């Protein structure tokens, strides 16, 4: 409803407003303390608490958790493929998905995005399209995206690795033909994995009521990342072929 949409818009803008207000309040407090004559505050201190303090604490935690999560994902990929190069090829899918998540956040801030109706239902109201600010919920959504963004790359690289183990190509043309055949055989499983994830996120994106102001921002990066992550089905085979051609 319009009221719920306005509430979520206010909630997304509240983080930036509270941070700005805290900075202004700190500056004014310091000016007022300095202006008081004969006031000695030696041994005293003050801090800003509340939601602003929680945001600062969460930002510091995420600055450690996100790199750690990426490192753990890479280590798991390395244990699977026993190759740094192959692990990096699969890891490229996470970079592609990351860009897709930010692209979706940018699209949500555009007035023309989903500005049409289907069966009398406005898509902007259905998907609650409004400007999304970076927050803890957004970064948690990116963490969830990192865990599933490498699925297609794992499926593709596993089959490519098995194909090249079963048969050693004699020329560059044969390498390319083997990569194309592997891509054709694994494109359907990759599409099914991506499609099921995207479809599962649609009810979250259209949810309203209690908790939706947190769940919707969490789902937006995952939805955008998995949509763009389809490119992994093209990027990973091309990079794999380039590596094999270089080693040939």
pLDDT digits (tens, 9 = 90+) for 52-72: 677 788 888 888 999 999 999
pLDDT in tens, 215-242: 999 999 999 999 998 888 888 899 999 9
pLDDT at position 209, please? 83
pTM to 2 decimals?
0.76
List of the chain residues with pLDDT < 50 = 1-14
pLDDT at position 177, please? 93
pLDDT at position 113, please? 92
Which fold is adopted by the domain 2-247? Multidrug efflux transporter AcrB transmembrane fold (1.20.1640)
| In the chain, domain spans | 2-247
pLDDT at position 123, please? 93
DSSP letters along the chain, please? Answer: -HHHHHHHHHHHHHHHHHHHHHHHHHHHHHHHHHHSTT---TT------THHHHHHHHHHHHHHHHHHHHHHHHHHHHHHHS-HHHHHHHHHHHHHHHHHHHHHHHHHT-TTTT--EETTEEHHHHTT-------HHHHHHHHHHHHHHTHHHHHHHHHHHHHHHH---SSHHHHHHHHHHHHHHHHHHHHHHHHHHHHHHHHHHT--STTHHHHHHHHHHHHHHHHHGGGHHHHHHHHHHHHHHHH-
pLDDT at position 9, please? 47
pLDDT at position 133, please? 86
């Amino acid at each position: 409803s319009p009221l719920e949409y306005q509430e979520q818009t206010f909630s997304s803008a509240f983080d930036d407003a509270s941070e700005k207000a805290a900075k202004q309040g700190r500056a004014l407090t310091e000016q007022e303390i300095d202006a008081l004559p004969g006031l000695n505050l030696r041994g005293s201190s003050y801090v800003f608490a509340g939601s602003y303090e929680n945001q600062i604490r969460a930002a510091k935690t995420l600055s450690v958790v996100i790199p750690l999560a990426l490192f753990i994902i890479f280590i798991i990929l390395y244990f699977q493929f026993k190759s740094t190069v192959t692990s990096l090829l699969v890891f490229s899918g996470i970079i592609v998905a990351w860009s897709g998540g930010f692209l979706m956040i940018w699209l949500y801030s555009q007035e023309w995005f989903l500005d049409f109706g289907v069966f009398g239902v406005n898509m902007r109201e259905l998907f609650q399209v409004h400007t999304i600010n970076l927050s803890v919920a957004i970064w948690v959504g990116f963490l969830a995206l990192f865990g599933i963004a490498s699925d297609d790359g794992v499926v593709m690289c596993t089959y490519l690795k098995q194909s090249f183990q079963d048969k050693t190509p004699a020329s560059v043309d044969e390498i390319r033909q083997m990569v194309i055949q592997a891509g054709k055989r694994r494109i359907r499983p990759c599409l099914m994995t991506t499609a099921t994830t995207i479809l599962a996120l649609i009810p979250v994106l259209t949810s309203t009521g209690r908790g939706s102001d947190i769940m919707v921002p969490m789902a937006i990066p995952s939805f955008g990342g998995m949509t763009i992550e389809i490119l992994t089905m093209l990027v990973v085979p091309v990079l794999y072929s380039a590596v094999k051609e270089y080693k040939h």
